[in-house]
């Protein structure tokens, strides 16, 4: 009973808030949220929902290869709703598994960038001085380069340091690290700015007087003040991270083709595009575009909803 009333109270707080109201009154945002969460749910449930297991060689048959989608095929056979690729893999199932992988890389690299950026921003803003100068100059230099180039460089360097075989095994970590390292700057700058404002306020001084450690002060007292802007950056970065992963995989420096993400699927389809088998490329492409568009719309809305100036 107690838990249900607590849940009810929490629900009431959510539905009573300004942010919820601005969400409800924007049909475009509601639609974007619906599309995004539908894609995310289907992707993460792909082991249950997918009609085939596309990357288990035992279930593949070359005689199923290059079947067109059911809507333009003559036999009306629904075994492969969106057709198959040259190996006989079901496109729909490939997309579901691929989206899951793209999302995993996206979320993981955003979280990595966020943790790294917040930590460096807190340290930079709280301690100031030389350490601040060093971190911020590195940020300046990195900001000079587009994120995709930074990620490419990191990937290339890792390839130089380890063998090809080993690289395929840890490709997932390499790509998450590369994307994460190329996105930390915006978090660090935002957090640093807020910390410099907050650290001279009385409540932080009071916390210092009662002898709390700098780490505790930063995490318990300063960090909660920057959740809003960090959340906005994270949402907008999720779209960018998904695009960056897809681009890297498309360029053939991302994930190996044994474990294809959406970008890898598009690259594999692109190799046979000239023969007119468009569905292998177009359906993963549409999924990618819909996902990124949905995430971007949510990010734009969140930015406006959390910005008190625009209320």
Partner 1 sequence: MLAFILRRILQSIAVLLTVGVVAFSLFRYVGDPINAMVGQDTTMEQRDELRTKLGLNDPAPIQFARFIYNASRGNFGLSYRTSEPVGRLILERVPATLELSFCAAVFILFVGVPMGVYTGLYPNHWSSRLLQAVSLFGVSLPPFLVGILLILIFAVSLHWLPSFGRGETVQIGWWTTNFLTWSGLKALILPSITLGLFQLTLIMRLVRSEMLEVMRTDYIKFARARGLSNRAINFGHALKNTLVPVITVFGLQLGSLIAFAVVTETVFAWPGVGQLFIQSVQFSDIPVMAAYLLLIGLLFVVINLVVDLLYSAVDPRLRGGGSVRVAGH
Contacts with partner 1 by CB under 8 A lie at 137-138, 140-141, 143-149, 152-153, 155-157, 159-161, 186, 239-240, 243, 246-247, 250-253, 266, 270, 273-274, 276, 278, 281-282, 285, 288-289, 292-293, 296-297
**Start-end of H helices in 128-163:** 129-143, 147-161
* 123 vs 265, beta carbon nearer partner 1: 265
Q: CA distances (Å), 85 to each of 14, 134, 261, 307, in order?
A: 46, 51, 15, 46
* 221 vs 299, beta carbon nearer partner 1: 299
Separation between Cα atoms, residue 198 and residue 191, nearest integer Å? 10
* 123 vs 288, beta carbon nearer partner 1: 288
Length of the chain: 311
CB of 182 to partner 1, least distance (A): 8
* 124 vs 249, beta carbon nearer partner 1: 249
* 191 vs 288, beta carbon nearer partner 1: 288
* 14 vs 251, beta carbon nearer partner 1: 251
Separation between Cα atoms, residue 88 and residue 54, nearest integer Å? 9
Separation between Cα atoms, residue 143 and residue 137, nearest integer Å? 10
* 50 vs 261, beta carbon nearer partner 1: 261
CB of 88 to partner 1, least distance (A): 22
* 221 vs 284, beta carbon nearer partner 1: 284
Structure tokens at 115: 């943790």
Residue 140: helix, strand or coil by DSSP? helix
Instruction: Let me know if 44 is exposed, middle or buried by CB neighbors in 10 A (0-12, 13-18, 19+).
Output: middle
Rg value, the chain, Cα: 23
Residue 278: helix, strand or coil by DSSP? coil
- Per-residue DSSP letter, 256: -
Phi, psi dihedral angles at 56 (to 5 degrees):
-100, 105
Nearest to 239, CA basis, from 96, 32, 31: 32
Structure tokens at 212: 């709390």
Structure tokens at 160: 């130089």
Q: Establish how many alpha carbons lie within 13 A of residue 152's alpha carbon, considering only the half-sphere containing its beta carbon.
A: 12
CB of 155 to partner 1, least distance (A): 6
């Amino acid at each position: 009973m107690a838990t249900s009333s607590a849940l009810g109270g929490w629900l009431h707080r959510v539905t009573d808030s300004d942010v919820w109201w601005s969400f409800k009154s924007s049909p475009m945002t509601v639609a974007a949220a619906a599309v995004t969460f539908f894609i995310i749910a289907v992707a993460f449930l792909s082991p249950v929902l997918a009609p085939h297991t596309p990357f288990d060689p035992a279930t593949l048959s070359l005689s199923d290869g290059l079947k067109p989608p059911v809507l333009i095929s003559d036999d009306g056979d629904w075994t492969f709703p969106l057709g198959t690729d040259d190996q006989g893999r079901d496109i729909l199932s490939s997309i579901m598994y691929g989206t899951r992988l793209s999302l995993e890389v996206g979320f993981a690299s955003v979280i990595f960038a966020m943790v790294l950026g917040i930590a460096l921003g807190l340290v930079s803003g709280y301690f100031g001085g030389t350490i601040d100068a060093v971190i911020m100059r590195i940020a300046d230099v990195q900001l000079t380069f587009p994120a995709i180039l930074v990620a490419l460089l990191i990937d290339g360097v890792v390839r130089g340091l380890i063998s090809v075989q080993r690289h395929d095994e840890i490709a997932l970590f390499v790509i998450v690290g590369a994307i994460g390292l190329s996105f930390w700057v915006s978090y660090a700058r935002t957090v640093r700015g807020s910390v410099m404002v907050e650290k001279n306020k009385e409540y932080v001084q009071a916390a210092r007087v009662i002898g709390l450690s700098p780490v505790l002060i930063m995490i318990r007292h300063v960090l909660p003040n920057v959740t809003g802007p960090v959340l906005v950056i994270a949402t907008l970065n999720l779209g960018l991270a998904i695009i960056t992963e897809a681009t890297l995989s498309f360029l053939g420096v991302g994930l190996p083709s044994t474990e294809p993400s959406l970008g890898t699927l598009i690259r594999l389809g692109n190799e046979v595009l000239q023969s007119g088998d468009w569905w292998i490329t177009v359906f993963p492409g549409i999924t990618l575009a819909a996902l990124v568009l949905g995430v971007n719309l949510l990010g734009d809305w969140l930015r406006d909803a959390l910005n008190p100036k625009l209320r």
